[in-house]
Amino acid sequence: MRVAKYYNNRDVRLEEMPKPEIGAGEILVKVRASGICGTDVLEWYRLKKAPLVLGHEITGEIAKTGAGIKRYKIGQRVFVSHHVPCYSCRYCRTGHHTACETLHTTNYFPGGFAEYIRVPKINVKRGVFVLPKEISFEEGTFIEPLACVIRGQRLAGLKRGQNILILGSGISGLLHLLLAREKGAGHITVTDINSYRLNAARKLGADVVIDARKGVSCKADLVIVCTGAMSAFRQAIRSADRGGTVLFFACTEPGMDIALPINEFWRNEMKLLTSYANSPQDAREAIELIRKKKIPVKKLITHRLGLRDAKKGFQLVVTAKECIKVIIEPHRV
């Protein structure tokens, strides 16, 4: 089968590898669509494992089932989670599913930028969801990123009428915008340094868009950081209102620290929190929101490419110019 193998952000090669063999309790999925995530181009994170086949936002059709599979059948359209929790460790039992060691070590093989993937038994049990007929393969690639956004906003306690500031209007920032609007947020401000993405945020319902290079002076009940730029992390600290919350949805490069005005946060009852990944509960909620068209994810797709053009897709995401969501279709001719 064909795969797009990642060596670095400028070197993504179309290669051949054997189609995965499956065992008992496993399934083989024919990948129909796989989104390129912003984390796929974090070289500080990816290079230590390269070369490898990336891709964790996939939808496809079940091509083969292993012995003992009764819940799924060949031909079903599915979304597959790459990471799943154990549900039994102390982190899972206290609601911190994404801190679970099992979640950090599970995955399908070889990755979503391939014509087929092998889904291990534990992922079959906890991370395979049949796609409703209302959700296309390309729309289904948003289940994973939207589920992450759902988890972040739930942890942050987003409430109706709150003023929201979103720093960064890439795919995660725009999904936060759409979900916050759906949840009844009040005034929503979005920042970025990219005029194309700011224009997209405006069209998708932002009340105000700001070029971050010109300064951000507003205060918000909830500030969501959706870019790895350290300037955004510092801006978030300054932008939280009294009683407000800062959600660090994005990450920085390793070893980066930020100064925190502890007394100001203490005196004004302000909170800092982080959010990573999602759980099956979040995925189920994402599926329902997309199925009911409450989050119009199709509007975020700017590029659809085949495996042969995966390198181009990665460069589109890296340069982040006139691009929002790039989807790879492994069987695209």
* Per-residue CA distances from 64 to 87, 258, 302 (Å): 27, 49, 32
Q: Is residue 203 part of a domain?
A: yes
244 conformational bin, left if phi > 0, alpha if psi -120 to 50, beta if neither: beta
Residues 211 and 169 in one domain: yes
Q: Is residue 212 part of a domain?
A: yes
Q: Is residue 282 part of a domain?
A: no
Residues 34 and 122 in one domain: yes
Q: Are 150 and 278 in contact (CB under 8 A)?
A: yes
Q: Is residue 163 part of a domain?
A: yes
Residues 80 and 156 in one domain: no
Q: Is residue 168 part of a domain?
A: yes
pLDDT in tens, 263-272: 999 999 999 9
Q: Nearest CA to 294 among 136, 202, 183?
A: 183
Q: Are 135 and 81 in contact (CB under 8 A)?
A: no
pLDDT in tens, 100-126: 999 999 999 999 999 999 999 999 999
**Quick one: pLDDT at residue 281?**
97
Residues 169 and 249 in one domain: yes
Residues 81 and 210 in one domain: no
Mean pLDDT of 184-207: 98
Mean pLDDT of 317-331: 97
Residues 214 and 89 in one domain: no
Rounded Cα distance between 79 and 60, Å, is 7
pLDDT in tens, 132-156: 999 999 999 999 999 999 999 999 9
Q: Nearest CA to 148 among 173, 117, 121?
A: 173
pLDDT in tens, 253-295: 999 999 999 999 999 999 999 999 999 999 999 999 999 999 9
- Count of CB atoms within 10 A of residue 332's CB? 14
**Quick one: pLDDT at residue 258?**
93
Indicate the helix (H) or strand (E) that contains 63.
Answer: strand 58-65
| Residue 88, domain CATH | 3.90.180.10
* 3-state SS assignment for residue 201: helix
Domain count of the fold of the chain = 2
Give CA angle at 236 (230, 242), nearest 5°. Answer: 155
The residue written with tokens 């997209």 in the block is 200
Q: What is the mean pLDDT of the chain?
A: 97
pLDDT exceeds cutoff 90 at 333:
no
pLDDT over 70 for what percent of the chain?
Answer: 100
Confidence of residue 206 (pLDDT cuts 50, 70, 90): very high
Residues 119 and 165 in one domain: no
Residues 19 and 80 in one domain: yes
Residues 58 and 93 in one domain: yes
Residues 179 and 58 in one domain: no
Query: CB under 8 Å to 69, separation ≥6 — which residues?
Result: 25, 26, 27, 124
What's the one-letter identity of residue 75? G
Q: Is residue 76 part of a domain?
A: yes
Residues 12 and 64 in one domain: yes
Q: Is residue 333 part of a domain?
A: no
- For residue 73, the enclosing domain spans 2-142+295-328
